[in-house]
Amino acid sequence: MRKIGFLGLGVMGLHMALNVDRKMDVEVVGFDVNEEQMRKYQEAGGTAAASVEELYSTCDVILQMLPTHAIIRHSVEEAIRLGQPGTVIVDLSSAAPDIILDLYRKAKEAGMYLLDSPVSGGNPMAEAGTLSIMTGGDRDAFDAVEPVLACMGTAVYTGGPGSGDTTKLVNNMIGGAILVAIAEGYAFAAKAGIDLQTTFEATRGGFAGGPLYDNKVPKVLNRDFEPGARIAVHRKDILNAKHYAHKMDVDLPLTDVVLRVMDWMNDNGYINEDQAALVRYYEDKMQVTVGKGQA
């Protein structure tokens, strides 16, 4: 491994790139179309690529953390066009599995590797380097880049191409259902007039409790909607799950409910708030305020 490139220095990508740069004993360069993010990366000690073309053509490992399917597809296709055989492209974004499968075939035809390697954990875990990383693709390519992935968190090999993104969809479908259930339950408790902190203390050790419950319920009660994990990012995975379910000709009735709540958040201007803000939907429907502090 001679040179690593990181494309996409957004809120999470910036921290992920810096963790790779600090922990790997090889040259690492970063690139983003946003000049402000490039400046932040350089000020934190990162080395900027002169152009995205330089990153594609000179790096034998290309990591990308990108926002949309169109940008993901364009980036991988440009990496294939400009890169060398043997290059490993690692898509850390969340993408629909069928799109990754199409790009995987193109990479293989060019003698390259594409790993679908989405992450979970949000901004705090990106900064701490403790993300959960789910990686599908060729096992030999995963083994080669696992030390790089370890700079950002714990990587688990999930199987063949597309399996990493499918695993991420499962993770976020279940997580979304739990988050909506928390919002509904605490709006119900507020409407019933019982003490919410007592409700939390009484239930956190029971069947409903767990890390997600302990993380999000206090944010709901304090009306702390500053994003640690934005609804907009989660909604993208819910849409990807719906897209792939349509390809497989299956229904996702619980995921449909999650999407309806998230669509309401989008329509009402709350889409970039933390997932704890999903309680706003139920506040509107039940005509109640949940928790205290500033909204």
The structural domain count of the chain equals 2
216 is catalytic: no
**Which DSSP symbol is given to 158?**
E
pLDDT band at 295 (very low <50, low <70, confident <90, very high): very low
Q: What is the pLDDT of residues 92-122, one digit of tens each?
A: 998 999 999 999 999 999 999 999 999 998 8
pLDDT value of position 83 = 96
pLDDT digits (tens, 9 = 90+) for 264-273: 999 999 999 9
Cβ pair 261, 271 in contact under 8 A: no
Mean per-residue pLDDT over the chain, rounded: 96
Helix (H, G, I), strand (E, B) or coil at 1: coil
Q: Quick one: pLDDT band at residue 123, thresholds 50, 70, 90?
A: confident
Question: Please, which pLDDT band fits residue 286 given cuts at 50, 70 and 90?
Answer: very high
Segment 56-64 shows an average pLDDT of 97
CA angle, residues 88, 20, 140, in degrees to nearest 5: 30
92 belongs to a structural domain: yes
Which one of 40, 168, 191, 216 is the catalytic residue?
168
Is the distance from CB of 120 to CB of 65 less than 8 angstroms? no
| Residue at 13: amino acid letter | G
For the chain, what is the total number of helices (H) and then of strands (E)?
13, 9
Calculate mean pLDDT across residues 125-150. 97
Could you tell me which residues are beta bridge partners of residue 4?
A: 28, 61
- Extract long-range pairs of 55-58: CB within 8 Å, 24+ residues apart: 55/5, 55/7, 55/29, 55/31, 56/5, 56/81, 56/82, 56/83, 57/82, 57/83, 57/84, 58/3, 58/5
Predicted TM-score (pTM) of this structure: 0.90
Residues 59 and 126 in one domain: yes
Choose one of 101, 134, 159: the last residue of a domain. 159
Residue 1 confidence class, pLDDT cut points 50, 70, 90: confident
Structure tokens at 143: 């083994």
The length of the chain is 295
Residue 44 has pLDDT above 70, yes or no: yes
Domain co-membership, 38 together with 174: no
Q: What percent of the chain has pLDDT over 90?
A: 94
Strand partners, 116: 91, 136
Q: Is the pLDDT of residue 6 over 50?
A: yes
> Residue 41: which domain range?
3-159
Do 150 and 172 fall into the same domain?
A: no
Q: Are residues 141 and 194 both part of a single domain?
A: no
